[in-house]
Amino acid sequence: MNPERKVVCGGLISAETLRRYPFLEEFAIHHINGAVVSAGGEEIVVKRKNVAVVLDRTVMFRGMLERAASAGAELHFRRWEGGDGYLVGADGATSSLRPLVTKQKVSYVLGVQAELPWEGEEDLVRVDFGPWSDVFFGWVIPLGNGRAHVGLGLSLERSSEAKTRLKLYGKYLGLPVERFEARLIPVSPPLRRVAKGKVFLVGDAAVHTKASTGGGIAYGFRGIDLLVEAVEKGDPSLYNRLHRVSIYPRLFLHWLVHRFYNSVDLPSLLRSVKELGLEKELSKRGSMDDPLFLLSPVFLKLIPRTFFPSGRTPPGRP
């Protein structure tokens, strides 16, 4: 781990996550009041005051290291080369410790992002589905200083097109793209097992990422909470069970949402959201982190209206 590293991340977390982990306020740089979601010329706007916060992830990384050190952790800035005792694998998306815990295959999306000048709405994030992203979407996360994180997710087969695709999205937004950075995001069904023997996975290593959006901060912290709970109860192996009961079902739903938006006609889905008056419902009841709200009848009625027969590619998606 390099303490000087720049973290490539949108930095967006929900207000729910901020309430759970109030110390994150220290790294907050901007507050968000909603989102614009678009696909094929259709657009919905979901608004709720202070629904999310943008964190400075690079400052947060250093701040968390300092917190760990002042809580008594010994920091070693080198690759792990084996040893005795318990081992917490917090080694990111391509974790080299994950294979010690599970043989489950993990798939990835390439997260491509640039920081660009932004003159659009400062308090709304954008989620734009379109030809720039084959399995995900484009995003704009305003930073509150006339700049924004502008990014998109791509399948690994399309990774060589990262620059062209980001330029295409930039053109759609009216922004010139020169430089960009890219990192892997685990976008996969959740792991059934996150611990084995003395090895415990957390964060991206544990695939504690929401497959619907690629966000990994919220469940990364929740996984750590569960591991702490298991240790405090004197039985670290309890971590697997706690993960299966509280994180697994929610992450599995995020995976289903990812599969859903890749198999439906998104413009007609957004049209249905408007026709059924669900923009208001989303503003009131929607959650960035916990997708259980989608199982209420009011949202389930979207499924029969928009579902495509399997195997058919929705218009506008390559």
Q: Where does this chain bind ligand FAD (CB under 6 A)? A: 1-2, 7-13, 79-80, 90-93, 96, 111, 113, 151, 183, 185, 203-205, 209, 214-218, 220
Q: What separation, in Å, do the N-terminal and C-terminal C-alpha atoms of the chain show?
A: 37
> Shortest approach of ligand FAD to residue 106 CB, angstroms?
13
Nearer to ligand FAD, 92 or 236 (CB): 92
> Shortest approach of ligand FAD to residue 226 CB, angstroms?
15
> Shortest approach of ligand FAD to residue 217 CB, angstroms?
3
> Shortest approach of ligand FAD to residue 75 CB, angstroms?
10
> Shortest approach of ligand FAD to residue 126 CB, angstroms?
13
Q: Of 139, 145, 121, whose CA–CA distance to 30 is shortest?
A: 145
Nearer to ligand FAD, 203 or 267 (CB): 203
> Shortest approach of ligand FAD to residue 293 CB, angstroms?
19
The β-bridge partners of 124 are: 34
Report d(CA 271, CA 3) in Å as an integer: 46
Nearer to ligand FAD, 185 or 264 (CB): 185
Q: Tell me, what amino acid is at 258?
A: H
> Shortest approach of ligand FAD to residue 44 CB, angstroms?
20
One DSSP character per residue, the chain reads: --TTPPP----EEEHHHHHH-GGGGGGEEEEEEEEEEEETTEEEEEEEEEEEEEE-HHHHHHHHHHHHHHTTPPP--S-----SS-EEE---TT-SSHHHH------EEEEEEEEEE--S-SSEEEEEESTT-SSS-EEEEE-SSSEEEEEEEEEGGGGGGHHHHHHHHHHHHT------EEEEEE-SSPPS--EETTEEE-GGGGT-S-TTT---HHHHHHHHHHHHHHHHTT-TTHHHHHIIIIIHHHHHHHHHHHHHHTTB-HHHHHHHHHHTTHHHHHHHH--SS-GGGGGSHHHHTHHHHHBPPTTPPPTT--
Nearer to ligand FAD, 45 or 87 (CB): 87
Nearer to ligand FAD, 215 or 267 (CB): 215
Nearer to ligand FAD, 116 or 278 (CB): 116
> Shortest approach of ligand FAD to residue 209 CB, angstroms?
5
State phi, psi for 214 to the nearest 5 degrees.
85, -5
Nearer to ligand FAD, 187 or 264 (CB): 187
* In the complex, residue closest to ligand FAD by CB: 216
Nearer to ligand FAD, 221 or 252 (CB): 221
